[in-house]
Amino acid sequence: MPTATTTIPKGYKQTEIGMIPVDWDVKKMSEVITFANGKPHENHVIPNGVYKLITLDSIGIDGKLKTEHRRIGAFDGSLKKGDIVMVLSDIAHAKLLGLCDLIPENNKYVLNQRMGRLRLIHADDPSYIRLQINSKQDHFRSRGQGTSQRHIYQRDVDELEIPLPPKKSEQTAIATTLSDTDALIEKLEKLIEKKKNIKQGAMQELLTSKRRLPGFSGKWEKSQLGNLAQIYQSQTISQNKFSNDGYLVYGANGVVGKYKDYNHNKWQTIVTCRGSTCGTVNKTVGKCWITGNAMVINVDQNNSIDKLFFYYLLSRQDFTNCITGTGQPQIVRNPLSAFEVVYPTDKTEQSAIAVVFTDMDTEIELLGHEFEKYKQVKTGMMQQLLTGKIRII
């Protein structure tokens, strides 16, 4: 409740869940929805069933219903359009518990066990209710019971309190605004994926001479990496020597921390040579520390190789045959040195190819920044719109 120093703006009131507009109410979900558990239907799955089965893996981390589902045969009691389906069980530390989405059409979906169905009692907007539930994930995570798998129950759903505008029109306006932002984010995500696929296709062609850039017809030749580059491992430093600031440290998983010193003053192409990511190619920044968990492929002394082209060339190679060991996969210097690549002998062509991929990477990076910006914008909008701090009516 408000204290002597609390200032409540005109048109707002203080409630047990925070400040909301005076005409909004705080309601428990038990006042808003009826709840029902799903039932076990796994044994009724058939290839061309009539109904799509909503299971624990039917909702993604984004809180959206996936498009692909297992199917079962004819069944009475299917879900209705506008029903909210919620994840009631999840593996420990995953972030699906309590996430929910809407059923998009009548009589096409059936709910499996450990999923909950929330059906509105009154004429509220189901999209708005879903947004409120998905914004309250801490409520469900704090109530999850179990160790290897966490569970929530009807009482955990019923006890959730949400702010509710009295007019469905305002609920719908809020949901529509956030849905439009979601659509923009999804559009950007698909565009980024498309650009990445275009780049992969270009790499398959330009880095294998299947397609040549205009004006180039020189020969390509095969050579072992050891004949083109210096291949070596640097000194490993223990994690207890890492610091909060300093130079980036590169290891088996790309950037693994920061250190007060650097052992390279120019960027390098590195290949992970320890652990599950063995064979992964990364590009470092300029001044950095490269540990012994990554093999350095250094062409700084080779004037016939364009360094950036060489990074792109290696990034599409499969180093599986260089990996030895089972319990702890590793790559040692000799097989990597003997690994063969095919490349254009004309350095000008190498550079031209590198420019193509650099331009593509720049475009993908800019789209990525825009994508992250709109995700942050959406988060801010949700905090404002779902509490009534900003009104759109």
* pLDDT band at 6; cut points 50, 70, 90: low
* pLDDT band at 5; cut points 50, 70, 90: low
336 and 363: one domain? no
Dump pLDDT digits (tens) for 220-230.
999 999 999 99
Three-state DSSP string of the chain: CCCCCCCCCCCEEEECCEEEECCCEEEEHHHCEEEEECECCHHHECCCCCEEEECCCCECCCCCECCCCEEECCCCCCCCCCCEEEECEEECCCCCCCCEEECCCCCCEEEECCEEEEEECCCCCHHHHHHHHHCCHHHHHHHCECCCEEECCHHHHHCCEEEECCCHHHHHHHHHHHHHHHHHHHHHHHHHHHHHHHHHHHHHHHCCCCCCCCCCCCCEEEEEHHHHCEEEECCCCCHHHCCCCCEEEEECCEEEEEECCCCECCCCEEEECECCCCCCEEECCCCEEECCCEEEEECCCCCCCCHHHHHHHHHCCCCHHHEECCCCCEECHHHHHHCEEEEECCHHHHHHHHHHHHHHHHHHHHHHHHHHHHHHHHHHHHHHHCCCCCCCC
291 and 332: one domain? yes
Instruction: Select from 305, 328, 345 the last residue of a domain.
Output: 345
Residue 256 in domain:
yes
> Average pLDDT in the 146-156 region?
92
Q: Is the pLDDT of residue 346 over 80?
A: yes
> Average pLDDT in the 186-190 region?
96
Q: Percentage of the chain with pLDDT > 90? A: 88
392 and 358: one domain? yes
> Average pLDDT in the 18-42 region?
95
324 and 361: one domain? no
Residue 159 in domain:
yes
305 and 337: one domain? yes
Q: Is the pLDDT of residue 4 over 70?
A: no
119 and 34: one domain? yes
> Average pLDDT in the 357-374 region?
98
Instruction: Select from 330, 345, 360 the last residue of a domain.
Output: 345
> Average pLDDT in the 3-24 region?
88
More confident residue, 156 or 7: 156
Residue 58 in domain:
yes
Q: Is the pLDDT of residue 246 over 60?
A: yes
* pLDDT band at 3; cut points 50, 70, 90: low
* pLDDT band at 78; cut points 50, 70, 90: confident
136 and 46: one domain? yes
Q: Is the pLDDT of residue 171 over 70?
A: yes
256 and 354: one domain? no
* pLDDT band at 148; cut points 50, 70, 90: confident
187 and 109: one domain? no
For the chain, the domain total comes to 3
Task: Compute the mean pLDDT over every residue in the chain, rounded to the nearest whole number.
Answer: 94
63 and 48: one domain? yes
> Average pLDDT in the 135-146 region?
92
Question: What pLDDT is recorded for position 48?
Answer: 86
214 and 355: one domain? yes
Q: Is the pLDDT of residue 2 over 60?
A: no
Dump pLDDT digits (tens) for 189-198.
999 999 999 9
Dump pLDDT digits (tens) for 94-123.
689 999 999 999 989 999 999 999 999 999
User: Domain of 103?
Assistant: 25-164
Question: What pLDDT is recorded for position 97?
Answer: 94
CATH number for the domain harbouring residue 233 = 3.90.220.20
> Average pLDDT in the 68-87 region?
89
Q: Is the pLDDT of residue 93 over 90?
A: no
Question: What pLDDT is recorded for position 327?
Answer: 78
